[in-house]
Amino acid sequence: MFYCLCRSLMKAFLKTLFFYDKWAPLRQHSSLSKLQKTLSARLANVWFGHPSGDFFVIGVTGTNGKTTTVNVLHDLLQAHVGKTFSVSTAKIRIGDQSSLNASKMSSLDPFALQKVFRQAKNEGCQVAVIEVTSHGLDQHRFEWIDFDMAILTNITNDHLEYHGGRESYVAAKKKLFVQTAANRKGKTYAVFPKDDATGRQWYDEFLFDEKITYGIAGQASVMGTNIIEWVDGTTATVNYLQESYPLQTSLRGAYNINNILAALSAVTMLGVPLEAAIKTVATIQGVTGRMDEYEANGAHYFIDYAHTEDALEKTLRYLNSLKKGGRLLILSGAMGDGRDKAKRPKMWALLDKYADVVVLADEDPGSENRFAIMSDVASGIKQKKIGNGLFILPQRRDAISFLTREAGSGDIVFLAGKGHEEVMLTQFGREKWSEKEELEHAIGSK
């Protein structure tokens, strides 16, 4: 109670000091706004006694794969290094305990983040793995956190409406590596994707005490080959220092091999034997809302958070490989309030290319007119017509029910965009939502 009161008073003071008003989001890049956020982060550090200073801190950034990489890395560190604390879009984990990240923010605000750091420290954690977003970096939420290691998953396009363009977006991501390289604690580490152009550039540009590359296409230090995708997981071979090791994982899709390789690269630099780490990977379960699979009446259903062009295409390629004569039916939509509006037609062109049936429904419409969003989405779908391969059912619950009735034996049904989230942002505010519960109810009612 006392903490909440003090936190509220601090925030009120900062907002008043910097002439905060309801149009603050429009001024998010202003000097006053950045100063406010910087001061807020530093106050949070002071308030909680700079707890991150006693951790080995790993930051994971990139467009896609951050949450899965954080999850895999948490389990590897917990098994082979020491008690671990992690924060991702999906979960907050302290050792073997986990709770849902219900903030709808991948990067917590500074007071929430430092509070959890303090709790993890009190519970004996020694290592921290933090999902680091471009928003969080731009808004100084990680001020005064000394990262020991920085990991890049990849760089494609996302949040360009916030950053104003790709160049600013990439520059925001780069701040993690600048901050890590300037670590005041001592040795610094970095992990870069060899298959990504930005990853290759930063590997050459940055000086770290130790750095390593991973990938499945180029000649990386930690290399994945012989990748085979199955409905219940993926197998591959990991090559490192002229040795080869078989890998088996319940994580689905070749793209997840990259996420696993990033985590393996990180623990390898910390002295964990690669063969032992790979054996642990076989026991790791996927993140809730990331390719969750259900089977009913011969049809396979998948729930995933995919909401960027790159993530969606990789997922659709994988699902197409599973069809075996059946159809691919997809539920999708678009976030409202103008968020990455320019990417909508590109993403929906992918649905047109890969899906046999597309059903459009709400996906956090916010205050934006849901039918305007549907119109935007439908504009990218050229090969299908309403009632013939394309259906518009704005109420997501109705759309899921329709798909379970439509799906037959051998079909693949993909529910994209919501994943693990437990709220839907609507014109009436935040409403309770669970994709998993809705799907299970619809399947049970079929």
Q: Please report, in angstroms and rounded to a whole number, the separation of the first and last CA atoms in the chain.
A: 47
SS3 content of the chain, % helix, strand, coil (to 5): 40, 25, 35
Q: Establish if 7 belongs to a structural domain.
A: no
Q: Do 57 and 158 fall within a single domain?
A: yes
Is residue 26 in a domain?
A: no
What is the structure's pLDDT at 34?
62
Which residue in this structure is represented by tokens 């793995």?
Answer: 129
Range of the domain at 422: 290-445
Average pLDDT on 376-399 reads 83
- The more confident residue out of 404 and 2 is 404
**Residue carrying structure tokens 């921290």:** 128
Q: Are residues 215 and 363 in the same domain?
A: no
Residue 325 placed within a domain: yes
Q: How far is CA 220 from the centre of its chain?
A: 23
Q: How confident is the model at residue 102 (pLDDT cuts 50, 70, 90)?
A: low
Co-location of 69 and 211 in the same domain: yes
More confident: 142 or 272:
272
Same-domain check for residues 398 and 306: yes
In angstroms, the CA 4 to CA 112 distance is 11
> Is 266 found in the same domain as 123?
yes
pLDDT beyond 50 at 77: yes
Summarised one tens digit per residue, pLDDT across range 165-197 is: 678 888 889 999 999 999 878 899 999 999 999
Q: Are strands 56-61 and 84-87 parallel, antiparallel or unpaired?
A: unpaired
Indicate if 294 and 239 belong to the same structural domain.
Answer: no
How much is the pLDDT for 270?
96
Same domain, 257 and 385: no
Does one domain contain both 193 and 322? no
Number of structural domains (the chain) is 2
> Would you place residue 22 in the very low, low, confident or very high pLDDT band (cuts 50, 70, 90)?
very low
Among candidates 244, 211, 249, which has minimal Cα distance to 229? 249
Query: Which of 52-66, 324-338, 423-437 is predicted most confidently?
Result: 52-66
**Residue 294: CATH number of its domain:** 3.90.190.20
CB 299 within 8 A of CB 325: no
Residue 293 DSSP SS3: strand
Last residue of a domain, one of 258, 281, 304: 281
Query: Would you place residue 159 in the very low, low, confident or very high pLDDT band (cuts 50, 70, 90)?
Result: low
Cross-strand partners of 426:
429
pLDDT digits (tens, 9 = 90+) for 268-309: 999 999 999 999 999 998 877 788 888 888 899 999 887 677
Query: Is 271 in the same domain as 317?
Result: no
Average pLDDT over residues 124-129: 96
Query: pLDDT digit string (tens) for 26-59?
Result: 334 445 456 666 777 778 777 777 878 889 999 9
Backbone angles phi and psi of 113, in degrees to 5 = -65, -45
Residue type, 277: A
Tell me the average pLDDT across 131-142.
Answer: 85
Angstrom distance (rounded) from CA 297 to CA 160: 41
Q: Is the dihedral of CA 435, 437, 441, 444 positive or negative?
A: positive
- Residue 363 pLDDT > 60: yes
Rounded CA-CA distance 405/140 in Å is 48
Indicate the pTM of the whole model. Answer: 0.82
Q: Which residues of 19-51 are buried (b: 16+ CB within 10 A; e: fewer)?
A: ebeeeeeeeeeeeebbebbbbbbebbbebbebb
